Chain A
Amino acid sequence: MTEPRELLVERRRWRPQLVWVIPILAALLGASLMVQSWRSKGPRITISFQSADGLQVGKTLVKYRSIVIGRVSALALSSGEDGVDVTVDLDRSAANAATEGSHFWVQHPRFGIDSEAHLDSLLSGAYIGVEMGRSAKAQRNFVGLEEPPALAHGHAGRLVTLRADSLGSLQPGAPVYFRKIRVGRVTETLLEASHQGVQIRIFVDAPNDQLISTRTRFWNASGVDLSLNADGLQLRTESLAAVLSGGIAFEDAPADFRGVETQHAEDFTLYTNRGAAFAPAPGEAHLVRMRFKHALRGLTIGAPVEMVGVEIGHVSGIDLEYSPKDQSFAVVVSAMLFPQLMGHAYETLAAEGTAASEDRMAVLIGRLVNRGLRVQPRLGSLLTGQLYLAIDFMPASSRVTFDASRRPLELPTVDSATGELQLRVASIAEKLDNMPLGSIGSHLDGSLSSLQALLGHVDNDLLPPATATIMDARAALSTLRGTISDDSPLHDKIDRTLEDTDATLLEVRSLAGYLQRHPDALLRGRRPDSKPVSAAP
């Protein structure tokens, strides 16, 4: 037992044990993970921005249609120009984003009333938005957009450019309405190259972009349009959002519309309000002058000029003129007239050929002046004292000579209607003066004394019989009360009648019950052995 046995002989030849499968498996697992992670790694791109405001390394995401497709992996200052270089690791699935034509922008949280407020970024922080390029050519360095594009992700629809004098409260993202339904938004606002106005680009989503034609009129729907007219107070707004953040509305012009026709279906005018959008086209303007001898307080530039109640122009200038001959001052008012605003009358004139030239117009006006055509300042509003100019026929006015060759045409005038009003008021005051107020007073006095006598007569002769009548009525009422009181014979009789009726009804009920069980009793009569009232146990 003390000698070592052959058991102790060590095996020199090494045979791998089964346990070596474990490290091999681990190595395979690790290798497969490495391959997988290498395969899922997408391209690394660099985007340059003006500033890295809100961007964080490792935190800021790159999103395409709200899906995370990458992450900011490094931020660095640009080497050459001012700005920052943002390095982004894209997922492999988003390799399309690293192609030519892709756009990147930083989406900051934005407060707005419209639906695209991006409130999600308020909590999650800014993210980088992507618009994928369509090209197949790969690109690694991009210049980021400073403003998020209004149109991302290939919406179907139509871009329309509007021109306006001023932007108002419109901003990119402001809604565009058609019959108060939101159909698009403002995408861009920019100054025209000539600095004479602004261009507003709007995008109308498909299929509503079909609504836009050359007949379409756009107007600024921002704010509240409050008007007071013969129908009462009218309030027009598009929506609360439009009131607060600005908006644009459009509609087709009606079929009989005689406004300015839009030439191109891409370029439109943005009118300041709905009224302006559908106002008839003013047509050619004619300058006329009028000379007034008296003061025209209340007439302002822009005041309307009306032809038989229809507005056909406006006052464009008010000036004073001194004539040394008779050392007098005159008010010279110039006005722009738009004959086309006369509507059908203008069409008739145009058909005659009168509207063709200013000379033939002047001849016509000369004939009209001979028939009594005059310009008269009239009071537009008693409250404000605003004047307007009325062109009207006043055959009673004195004859004047009309110079048809003079340019600009000078229309004859008559005195202000305000003066007439004053005259009338004066005549009324005079008539009031002439009224015999003294005799009216004495007559009234006599009438009052006779009224007093009449009242005394009523007091003495009429009142005593009336009192007796009332006493009689009271006695009659007390008799009636005795008749219908609780212990009266009438009451007793009614009581008894009611009891009888009760008993009768009971009988009728039992009969009805019997008939229900034995309907044949109606024909055969009551069976002798059955009882009318059910005595079932």
Chain B
Amino acid sequence: MIARASQLGIARCRVCGQIEDMAAVARCSRCGRRLRLPNPRTSAERSLAWLIAAVILYIPANVLPVMYVSGIGGGAESTIYGGILEFWRSGSLGLALLIFGASVAVPITKFVALGLLITTTLLNSSGAPAQRARLYRFVEFIGYWSMLDVVVVALTCRLVRFGSLAVAEPRPGIVFFCAVVIVTMISAFSFDERSIWAARSHP
């Protein structure tokens, strides 16, 4: 049986990577950071809490309008879903797909992937750790693209200001959407990648 570092009381500093013996020191001898043994349950639980918060926030983000565009002939508020439909109907398939990808596909993929990772960790599953690790890296990767919607709305509202001709204004939905992205990032960050491999020691 291969002993794990945690079993030996050896911890790695999360800041500078120094390997320390937890029995000897409580803080990193190099950078002074408090040392902690990885705790799969705690990290998964924290990650789960953030994930649930993100899923809850995702509902108002989609139900509330994200942007109000007024032009000649009146104004209209649009939700993310409504915006995608509008672009799709007006023939801008590329734009519709892009917005769909950034605001529907990416967050939901993240929810599902994180949920899977957290559940398996909490269940102490030892199956397919390599794939789960890859999944985690994938979640980190697509996280970059989640803020696309927020950036689009921010840019549009800043650029489209032509008085009574055309005005775009943000609406509360975009704040929730922004919160979803941030909370999901925190959730992913709270998840300790090492806990994927922790279950090995408890066959």
Kindly list chain A residues whose C-beta atoms are within 8 Å of the C-beta of B7: 4, 8
| B47 to chain A: closest residue by CB | A19
**Binary contact readout A1-43 vs B (1 if CB under 8 angstroms, 0 otherwise):** 1101101101100000101101101110110010000000000
* Residue contact A23 to B74, C-beta cutoff 8 Å: no
In the assembled complex, the CB of A144 is this many whole angstroms from the nearest CB of chain B, namely 20
Q: A1-B8, A17-B46 are in contact. Are A26 and B22 (CB under 8 A)?
A: no
* Residue contact B53 to A33, C-beta cutoff 8 Å: no
Among candidates A7, A11, A30, residue contacting B59 with C-beta atoms closer than 8 Å: A30
Kindly list chain A residues whose C-beta atoms are within 8 Å of the C-beta of B8: 1-2, 4
Q: Quick check: is B76 within 8 A (CB to CB) of the other chain? A: yes
A interface residues, how many (CB within 8 angstroms): 25
A-side interface mostly: helix
Q: Quick check: is A125 within 8 A (CB to CB) of the other chain? A: yes
* Residue contact B57 to A26, C-beta cutoff 8 Å: yes
Kindly list chain B residues whose C-beta atoms are within 8 Å of the C-beta of A123: 72-73
* Residue contact A124 to B73, C-beta cutoff 8 Å: yes
In the assembled complex, the CB of A37 is this many whole angstroms from the nearest CB of chain B, namely 8
* Residue contact B37 to A7, C-beta cutoff 8 Å: yes
* Residue contact A7 to B56, C-beta cutoff 8 Å: no
Among candidates A1, A22, A27, A124, residue contacting B74 with C-beta atoms closer than 8 Å: A124
* Residue contact A7 to B9, C-beta cutoff 8 Å: yes
In the assembled complex, the CB of A155 is this many whole angstroms from the nearest CB of chain B, namely 28
**Binary contact readout B1-17 vs A (1 if CB under 8 angstroms, 0 otherwise):** 00100111100000000
Kindly list chain A residues whose C-beta atoms are within 8 Å of the C-beta of B42: 17
Complexed CA–CA distance, A145 and B130 (Å): 71
In the assembled complex, the CB of A378 is this many whole angstroms from the nearest CB of chain B, namely 69
Complexed CA–CA distance, A22 and B23 (Å): 34
Kindly list chain A residues whose C-beta atoms are within 8 Å of the C-beta of B190: 19
Kindly list chain B residues whose C-beta atoms are within 8 Å of the C-beta of A11: 41
Q: Quick check: is B183 within 8 A (CB to CB) of the other chain? A: yes
Q: Quick check: is A58 within 8 A (CB to CB) of the other chain? A: yes
* Residue contact A2 to B49, C-beta cutoff 8 Å: no
* Residue contact B59 to A23, C-beta cutoff 8 Å: no
* Residue contact A8 to B6, C-beta cutoff 8 Å: yes
Complexed CA–CA distance, A500 and B74 (Å): 91
| B124 to chain A: closest residue by CB | A10
Chain B residues at the A interface, C-beta cutoff of 8 Å: 3, 6-9, 22-23, 37, 41-42, 45-46, 49-50, 52-54, 56-57, 59-60, 64, 72-74, 76, 183, 190
23 interchain pairs, CB-CB under 8 A? A2-B3, A7-B37, A10-B41, A11-B41, A19-B46, A19-B190, A22-B49, A22-B53, A23-B49, A23-B53, A26-B52, A26-B53, A26-B57, A26-B183, A27-B56, A29-B57, A29-B60, A30-B57, A30-B60, A59-B74, A124-B73, A124-B74, A125-B74
Q: Beyond the given A26-B54, A33-B64, could you list 12 further A-B residue pairs with CB under 8 A, ordered by the A residue number?
A: A1-B8, A4-B8, A5-B23, A11-B41, A19-B45, A22-B49, A22-B50, A22-B53, A26-B57, A26-B183, A29-B57, A124-B74
